[in-house]
Amino acid sequence: MSGGSYSGFSLFKNALSYHENWQRAWRSPKPKSDYDVIIIGGGGHGLATAYYLAREHGITNVAVIEKGYLGGGNTGRNTTIIRSNYLWDEAAHLYELALKLWEGLSQELNFNVMFSQRGVLNLGHTLQDMRDIERRVNANRLNGIDGEVIGPAEVQKLVPLLDCSPGNRYPVLGASWQPRGGTARHDAVAWGYARAADALGVDLIQQTEVTGIRRENGRVTGVETNAGFIGARKVGCVVAGNSGVLAAMAGLQLPIESHPLQAMVSEPLRPCLDTVVMSNAVHGYISQSDKGDLVIGAGIDHYTGYGQRGSFHVVEHTMQAICELFPAFSRVRMNRQWGGIVDTCPDACPIISKTPVQGLYFNCGWGTGGFKATPGSGYVFADTVAHDRPHPLAEAFSIDRFYSGALIDEHGAAGVAH
């Protein structure tokens, strides 16, 4: 680490100089003319990919090219929920790899990502919800993922402010409970990966927009940017909502549509909610950040869009649901509301794939729930790029599944749950 690692001692040392002399977390290098690998997109997934390329595969001649600032897209816009309780084996193994990496991430990166395993509840409001929950929890347990089905009394004990009284508008019949799930500080994840990747020699190039992908004889040779051409033997594209735009630059089309997804935070409150509560049926999910604000996520707007904002009736619907579930929150004032552009796939699963262009790879389609997968996504994508073949956990997520029909339908577990 340039300037040393973070520790209790460094905190004490810097306190003596009024915290005015902290080292910079990463360099701001001029782009070289040529790299082994260019990663397009400096969000969590892209930075994690660059980190694991350097750390696991010794490929350090790597640049991450970001058109804005690091973590300024969906990484900084999501509701930070982490869980791995997905139904199908392929998805469950991928998200569980991510969850296992989360558990050691702060130590590994020497950066506190504030990962908090406060548990995640998925509420069931109807008998069919409960059947689906039973099926999913059973599938999770067979895959070695923690989870249990709990009844309304246990839900009420975990979340005293939740209205579990019989006969209310959205009766709580029970929930799935994943104790290892939780939240993390989203910005810190981007910063932690950025700092660790930079320390291993990765160039983080911000404020530089890719405008074209240059190819020769079916092979990628580099990227055009607004700062000129940068050569590369391999290019990995990790740009979420803008994946379709980048694919078009390489003459490709993706089975992806980009939609606005909205979220909001309230004014800071005293601690009142120490788990994550999600409800697919009423399109709302809520947790309380360490700062005290309630973090609330809504559903997607059904139309496609790139405008990073959505329609009011979508957030209105979510607020109605949250107020029904938590009557005590009805007087809480909302501080901020925003939208991010999510890249949704027809089967609500990501695409981690080679492409018909040699040396060009895509990691996209995470849709509404990519944040939780950040470490696992970077890990398997780095492996895929390094070896020019899919990582065993990424094989099922090839773009070919939209031709073969081997879709992995995770709409139930993905739901609105992020």
Residues in touch with other proteins (CB under 8 A): 242, 244-245, 248, 253-258, 302-307, 311-313, 346, 402-405
Does residue 233 contact residue 359 with C-beta atoms inside 8 Å?
yes
CB of 313 to other proteins, least distance (A): 5
CB of 323 to other proteins, least distance (A): 19
Indicate the residue among 69 and 306 with the shorter CB distance to other proteins. 306
Indicate the residue among 339 and 376 with the shorter CB distance to other proteins. 339
Indicate the residue among 187 and 402 with the shorter CB distance to other proteins. 402
Does residue 155 contact residue 264 with C-beta atoms inside 8 Å?
no
Indicate the residue among 30 and 313 with the shorter CB distance to other proteins. 313
Indicate the residue among 9 and 303 with the shorter CB distance to other proteins. 303
CB of 98 to other proteins, least distance (A): 25
CA 131 to chain centre: 28
Query: Rounded to whole angstroms, how far apart are CA atoms 86 and 370?
Result: 13
CB of 365 to other proteins, least distance (A): 11
Does residue 264 contact residue 336 with C-beta atoms inside 8 Å?
yes
Indicate the residue among 114 and 407 with the shorter CB distance to other proteins. 407
CB of 239 to other proteins, least distance (A): 12
Residues 174, 178, 183, 184, Cα dihedral to 10°: 180
In sequence order, the 6+-apart residues with CB closer than 8 A to the CB of 261 are: 297, 298, 299, 300, 301, 310, 339, 340, 341, 342, 368, 418
CB of 333 to other proteins, least distance (A): 22
Burial (0-12, 13-18, 19+ Cβ within 10 Å), 312: exposed
The C-alpha angle with vertex 242 and arms to 239 and 244, in degrees rounded to 5, equals 110
